[in-house]
């Protein structure tokens, strides 16, 4: 079991979701996050006071998958989020120790699927 | 020293007596009717209140990344049209016919320089000029619903300025100026109390044309574009409803029986429209939505806008109901044809008010028809009036459609109108204004 965490551009979320659904991956958690990468920041002006914004709005996806879905998930996220520009984001893949479905108390492979 | 002081007081006395002489002269020109003036001042404020109301209504319906840009579309109209109206708008709309009646002109209205002491029917002309100016402000702002989320701010500013000049001013002159050709059509002219043709149909038709010209937003309609804040939309709709009493009842330009009639019909039609939309949704979706409810309010308000002065309460009830049904199905048609009139300016303002302009012919109170017959000496029927209304509606559609198409083309090919893909994706707030509306509450 793996936990895939991806940071993507907020406006790419619909495309990523669509690509994941097409790859038959329907379970995910999405949160708004602020992040800092190669893209650097920009400045905003409020009544003439310049305000440097270094942390940019990003969307974080968390998807728990069984081994045979890892590559498909990564491919789908890339398909939806890639533009070729700085700021497209990153994908992290890590081992998942345990997974329990609360309702049925199933564990492991069945709990994810 | 003493001599200078005496001289000083002499000059002051002379100035004071001259001042009194001038004001007495002004007083002889017209006596101020304080009741009517007070109501027109109130109406002017109420109509202005509709513009922030519209900003909230539209602002809540777009995505988070465009909330400020969309609200600015409404607000900036107050400023741009506010200036243009002072310089030449009032003159072009309400001056004497020139260019074969296409526009008006009156040098006294240029920079509003000649109305400083003018009193018309008991109301200072400044009040009338400002009241009419508020209508000129809200009309271009309505069109912003069709071009939401995908235009340059500078392009929008030029668009509304040109649209005001070449579409609004001629229409206002045709329908409302005492020598306008639609004002004098038929027995008693085209019936358009508060701008069914001049405001809502012209904005609605222009909305359709400009949305076709600009094309769809990226992802529409595959990706559902969800409103960022319906709470704000509901507050905006509430402000619009309240403001509409100034809009319709103020358009009688006095304070009396007609004013009471217009106010009553406005309330009845808006309620009837809202109830009808609720019932439609309850039957079709099994759920009544808040957005549906406020759409019903607007459908009821726009249909009664041309009609509030001439129909009876039963007519207002029926018009509100018909308008909700027509607008409901107009929005369905939008989904079918796939054009991106983003916030349904055409579907509600164009369709609802167009329906009102035509259908009011069959609900006119008897005394109005009797006066119309007396004016021409033969019997004036509802069908006769219907064709006059149709004439007004057709003229409005032609001018608005052609004008908008040409203006859109000019703006696109000079300073740019349609936002590029990258800027559109990042949102207008970030790419055009360098600000953001909210904190971290919403995804995009």
A70 touches A93 (CB < 8 A): yes
pLDDT at B320: 97
Count of Cβ atoms closer than 10 Å to residue A110 Cβ: 11
φ and ψ of B152, to 5 deg: -70, 145
pLDDT digits (tens, 9 = 90+) for B245-267: 999 999 999 899 999 999 999 99
Q: How many Å lie between the alpha carbon of A10 and the closest alpha carbon of chain B?
A: 6
**Integer Rg of chain A from CA:** 17
Helix/strand/coil percentages in chain A, nearest 5: 30, 40, 35
pLDDT digits (tens, 9 = 90+) for B308-335: 999 999 999 999 999 999 999 999 898 8
| B442 to chain A: closest CA residue | A32
pLDDT digits (tens, 9 = 90+) for B54-76: 999 999 999 999 999 999 999 99
Q: Do B430 and A42 touch (CB under 8 A)?
A: yes
Q: Where are the beta strands (DSSP E) in chain A?
A: 2-8, 29-35, 42-46, 49-53, 56-65, 89-95
What CATH number does residue B189 fall under?
Answer: 1.10.3430.10
Q: How many Å lie between the alpha carbon of B425 and the closest alpha carbon of chain A?
A: 6
pLDDT digits (tens, 9 = 90+) for B383-400: 999 999 999 999 999 999
B81 touches B140 (CB < 8 A): yes
Residues in chain B with CB shorter than 8 Å from the CB of A14 are: 219, 223
Q: Is residue B48 part of a domain?
A: yes
What is the percentage of chain B residues whose pLDDT exceeds 70?
Answer: 92
Domain range for residue B366? 33-425
Residue B240: pLDDT above 70?
Answer: yes
Helix (H) or strand (E) holding B124: strand B123-124
Q: Do B443 and A46 touch (CB under 8 A)?
A: no
Q: Is residue B177 part of a domain?
A: yes
Nearest partner of A41 among A55, A59, A28, judged by Cα? A55
Question: Cβ of B443 under 8 Å from any chain A Cβ?
Answer: yes
Q: Do A10 and B440 touch (CB under 8 A)?
A: no
pLDDT at B442: 45
Q: Is residue B10 part of a domain?
A: no
Q: What is the DSSP letter of B217?
A: P
Q: Is residue B340 part of a domain?
A: yes
pLDDT digits (tens, 9 = 90+) for B274-287: 999 999 999 999 99
Whose tokens are 């039963």? That residue is: B314
User: Quick one: pLDDT band at residue B13, thresholds 50, 70, 90?
Assistant: very low
pLDDT digits (tens, 9 = 90+) for A50-96: 777 778 889 999 999 999 999 999 999 999 999 998 889 999 999 99
- How far is Cα B227 from Cα B229, in angstroms, rounded to an integer? 6
Q: Is residue B300 part of a domain?
A: yes
User: Quick one: pLDDT band at residue B440, thresholds 50, 70, 90?
Assistant: low
**Taking residues B156-163, what's their average pLDDT?**
97
Comparing A33-47, B6-20, B319-333, B337-351, the range with the smallest average pLDDT is B6-20
B56: Cβ–Cβ under 8 A, 6 or more apart, which residues?
A: B71, B232, B233, B235, B236, B239
B163 touches B407 (CB < 8 A): yes
Residue B1: pLDDT above 50?
Answer: no
Comparing A16-25, B156-165, B307-316, B429-438, the range with the smallest average pLDDT is B429-438
Centroid of chain to Cα B58:
15
Q: How many domains is chain B partitioned into structurally?
A: 1
Q: Is residue B436 part of a domain?
A: no
Q: Do A44 and B434 touch (CB under 8 A)?
A: yes
B38: Cβ–Cβ under 8 A, 6 or more apart, which residues?
A: B255
pLDDT at B19: 44
Residues in chain A with CB shorter than 8 Å from the CB of B427 are: 11
pLDDT at B7: 46
Question: Cβ of B73 under 8 Å from any chain A Cβ?
Answer: no
B198 touches B139 (CB < 8 A): yes
pLDDT digits (tens, 9 = 90+) for B93-114: 999 999 988 999 999 999 999 9
Helix (H) or strand (E) holding B120: strand B119-120
Residues in chain A with CB shorter than 8 Å from the CB of B219 are: 14
pLDDT at B248: 95
Q: What is the DSSP letter of B86?
A: I
Residue B36: pLDDT above 50?
Answer: yes
Residue A15: pLDDT above 70?
Answer: yes
More reliable by pLDDT, B269 or A112: B269
Residue B27: pLDDT above 60?
Answer: no
User: Quick one: pLDDT band at residue A34, thresholds 50, 70, 90?
Assistant: confident
pLDDT at B26: 42
pLDDT digits (tens, 9 = 90+) for B426-437: 899 989 998 888
What is the percentage of chain B residues whose pLDDT exceeds 90?
Answer: 82
Interface test with B, best of A52, A57, A58 (most B CBs within 10 A): A57
**Taking residues A1-6, what's their average pLDDT?**
95
Residue B25: pLDDT above 60?
Answer: no
Q: Is residue B82 part of a domain?
A: yes
B147 touches B64 (CB < 8 A): no
- How far is Cα B443 from Cα B63, in angstroms, rounded to an integer? 9
User: Quick one: pLDDT band at residue B29, thresholds 50, 70, 90?
Assistant: low
pLDDT digits (tens, 9 = 90+) for B172-204: 999 999 999 999 998 899 999 999 999 999 999
Provide the mean pLDDT of chain B. Answer: 90
User: Quick one: pLDDT band at residue A37, thresholds 50, 70, 90?
Assistant: confident
Residue B2: pLDDT above 70?
Answer: no
| Among candidates A10, A43, A44 on the partner chain, residue whose Cβ is nearest the Cβ of B443 | A10
φ and ψ of B17, to 5 deg: -65, -35
- How far is Cα B62 from Cα B144, in angstroms, rounded to an integer? 12
Instruction: Please name each of the domains of chain A with its CATH number.
Output: 2-112 (3.30.70.120)
- Measure CA of the first residue to CA of the last residue in chain A; give whole Å: 11
More reliable by pLDDT, B256 or B10: B256
- How far is Cα B5 from Cα B8, in angstroms, rounded to an integer? 5
| Among candidates B426, B436, B443 on the partner chain, residue whose Cβ is nearest the Cβ of A32 | B443
Residue B157: pLDDT above 80?
Answer: yes
Q: Is residue B21 part of a domain?
A: no
B198: Cβ–Cβ under 8 A, 6 or more apart, which residues?
A: B135, B139, B168, B171, B172, B175, B176, B192, B396
Residue B151: pLDDT above 50?
Answer: yes
């Amino acid at each position: 079991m793996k936990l895939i965490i991806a940071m993507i551009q907020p406006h790419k979320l619909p495309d990523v979701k669509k690509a994941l659904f097409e790859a038959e991956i329907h379970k995910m958690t999405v949160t708004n996050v602020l992040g800092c990468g190669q893209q650097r920041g920009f400045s905003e002006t409020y009544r003439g006071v310049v305000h440097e914004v270094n942390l940019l709005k990003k969307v974080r996806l968390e998807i728990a998958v069984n081994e045979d879905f890892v590559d498909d998930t990564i491919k789908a996220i890339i398909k939806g989020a890639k533009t070729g520009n700085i700021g497209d984001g990153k994908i992290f893949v890590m081992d998942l120790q345990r997974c329990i479905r609360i309702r049925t108390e199933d564990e492991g492979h069945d709990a994810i699927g | 020293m003493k001599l200078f002081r005496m001289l000083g007081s002499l000059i002051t006395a002379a100035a004071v007596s001259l001042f009194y002489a001038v004001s007495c002269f002004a007083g002889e020109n017209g006596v101020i009717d304080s009741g009517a003036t007070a109501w027109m001042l109130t109406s002017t404020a109420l109509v202005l209140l509709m513009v922030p109301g519209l900003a909230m209504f539209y602002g809540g319906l777009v995505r988070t990344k465009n909330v400020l840009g969309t609200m600015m579309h409404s607000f900036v109209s107050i400023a741009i049209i506010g200036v243009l109206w002072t310089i030449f708008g009032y003159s072009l709309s309400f001056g004497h016919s020139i260019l074969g009646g296409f526009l008006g002109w009156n040098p006294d209205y240029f920079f509003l320089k000649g109305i400083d002491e003018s009193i018309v029917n008991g109301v200072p002309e400044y009040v009338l000029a400002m009241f009419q100016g508020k209508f000129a402000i809200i009309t271009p702002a309505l069109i912003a619903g069709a071009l939401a989320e995908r235009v340059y701010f500078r392009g929008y500013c030029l668009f509304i300025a040109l649209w005001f000049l070449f579409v609004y001013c001629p229409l206002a002159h045709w329908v409302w100026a005492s020598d306008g050709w639609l004002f004098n059509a038929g027995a008693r002219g085209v019936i358009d109390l508060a701008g069914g043709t001049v405001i809502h149909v012209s904005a609605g038709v222009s909305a359709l044309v400009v949305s076709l010209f600009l094309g769809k937003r990226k992802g529409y309609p595959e990706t559902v574009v969800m409103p960022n804040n319906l709470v704000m939309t509901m507050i905006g709709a509430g402000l619009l409803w309240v403001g509409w009493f100034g809009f319709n009842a103020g358009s009688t330009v006095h304070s009396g029986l007609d004013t009471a009639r217009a106010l009553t019909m406005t309330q009845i039609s808006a309620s009837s429209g809202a109830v009808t939309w609720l019932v439609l949704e309850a039957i079709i979706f099994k759920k009544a939505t808040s957005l549906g409810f406020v759409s019903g309010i607007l459908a009821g308000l726009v249909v009664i806008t041309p009609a509030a002065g001439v129909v009876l309460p039963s007519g207002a009830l029926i018009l509100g109901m018909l308008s909700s049904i027509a607008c409901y199905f107009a929005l369905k048609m939008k989904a079918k044809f796939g054009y991106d009139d983003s916030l349904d300016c055409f579907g509600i303002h164009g369709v609802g008010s167009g329906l009102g302009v035509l259908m009011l012919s069959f609900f006119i109170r008897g005394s109005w028809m009797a006066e119309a017959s007396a004016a021409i000496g033969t019997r004036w029927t509802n069908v006769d009036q219907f064709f006059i209304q149709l004439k007004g509606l057709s003229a409005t559609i032609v001018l608005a459609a052609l004008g908008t198409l040409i203006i859109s083309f000019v703006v696109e090919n000079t300073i740019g109108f349609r936002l590029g893909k990258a800027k559109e994706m990042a949102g207008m707030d970030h790419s055009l204004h360098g600000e953001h509306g909210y904190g971290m509450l919403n995804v995009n």
